[in-house]
Amino acid sequence: MTHLGERIRARRQELGLSQGRLAQMAEVTASAVSQIESGAIRTLKNDTLARLAVGLQTTALELMADLHVEAATLPSDEQRLLDCYRKLQPPLQDIALKLIKALQ
């Protein structure tokens, strides 16, 4: 069984993200991402886990439970948003996240 940090590292590498880039997207430090991935930090606040999941284009549940949730399980409107987000270049993904946060 893998710990949360190993699952985060695997997903980050699968997406081709650096620790620094994921840290930016999740609004944490690169050092924190490194510590999480190494297992030095094993528990996360819910909001931190949620931000990491968004950056990793997955769900907090998938990261925590080591599940491989198919995208088809998302409601159609959420799937459309995710598909559009994934097509954006990283600078535009940042803008999209900021816009969504401003709308909350």
**Residue 63: pLDDT above 70?**
yes
Q: Is the pTM of this model over 0.85?
A: no
Domain residue limits, the chain: 1-69, 70-104
**Within 13 Å, how many C-alpha atoms sit on residue 37's CB side?**
18
Check whether domain 1-69 has CATH 1.10.260.40, yes or no: yes
**Residue 67: pLDDT above 70?**
no
Q: Which residues of 21-45 are buried (b: 16+ CB within 10 A; e: fewer)?
A: bbbbbbebeeebbbebbeeebeebe
State the average pLDDT over residues 59-85.
73
3-state SS, residue 19: helix
